[in-house]
Amino acid sequence: MADSLPAGARLFLPPYMLERIASAGSNHLRECARHTLVVDQQFRARAGAVILPQGSVKRGEPARYVHSAEQQQALPGRLVRGEGEDDSGDPAVDEAYHGLGATYRLFWEVYERHSIDDEGMVLLATVHYGRDYENAFWDGQQMVFGDGDGELFNRFTIALDILAHELTHGVIQHEAALAYVGQSGALNESLCDVFGSLVRQHQLEQSVDEADWLIGKGLFTERVAGRALRSMARPGTAYDDPLLGRDPQPDHMDAFVVTEADSGGVHINSGIPNRAFHLTAMALGGHAWERAGRIWYDTLVDQRLGQDSDFPTFATLTLDNAERRYGAVSQEATAVREGWRRVGVLP
């Protein structure tokens, strides 16, 4: 597929959004978008070059380090805040630090996973990356955040679920290593949205009814006609803006988008499994991270989940894991089956 990424390279904003800005925005916005696309292309060629410091040797305790690139593009940059240190007063630094902690807490307290690799891997982040850089990414070893352009995008640390989304790419990298293309790539993106949303819900102690199920809420400035980058509850409705266009995500297999762009539609078609998870969680009620999230996590770490797994394969595994954990005629298994049926993945 066109523009597929090497292993480990995961960018938050889809390229089609930046390409639209680069062709139709103001002079400043076109320059920012084109610069970001160039930087992203360079990033693809050099992902994974940072030597990581020692992680956490004690289970249940994270090891967090936040650096500032100071508008440059060298990684990891200057160390600004380490594990256990007080707030720095820089919103991007402190949002990154607390976001790393919130993500660690969900995976540890709910699923007993000790960091990204379950072996205490250091949680490393760099903020203030580049100048007017409009993206965030996981490069196979660390998190990197741009400050946005100030017109369309705020700083990329502003939404907790963005940070948790990108860290989940690291978890996937160490488990299923889902190929970042086509349906397996859309599953990769969907799983990151699922756990990104769960981290925020867990942090806010929200029930499924209290959660807004939005991904990237707060990233858009007030100039954008949109609530967030994606909606798990209603894919295709997150934004409808004169410049950015309309949210292209389908919510059913009948509308599956066949394309070579976006690595085969990984950011687009992820709306289908996203909605399946939302339907499952809503049917079960309570806290989504407990039963629905447990089933999805069991499937993520299931050795039967192959790198090239498609939607039906993943759906079948979630159903099997629900039946194994809760019983074949359980409410959980019924909710999973019905969730996937309603998006057209299972019959």
Active site residues: 166, 267
Nearest to 278 by CA among 224, 187, 230, 339: 339
CA–centroid distance for 134 within its chain:
16
Judge contact between 90 and 80, C-beta under 8 A.
Answer: yes
Grouping H, G, I as helix, E, B as strand and the rest as coil, residue 165 is: helix
CA–centroid distance for 2 within its chain:
21
36-40 long-range contacts (CB < 8 A, ≥24 apart) are 36/130, 36/132, 36/133, 36/134, 36/135, 36/146, 39/73, 39/130, 39/133, 39/135, 40/11, 40/15, 40/135, 40/137
Judge contact between 127 and 93, C-beta under 8 A.
Answer: yes
* Locus of tokens 């807490």: 105
Strand arrangement of the beta sheet that strand 64-68 belongs to: 10-11, 136-138, 143-145, 123-127, 64-68, 78-82
Nearest to 152 by CA among 132, 130, 137: 132
Distance from C-alpha of 238 to C-alpha of 333, rounded to nearest angstrom: 29
Largest CA distance in the chain: 59
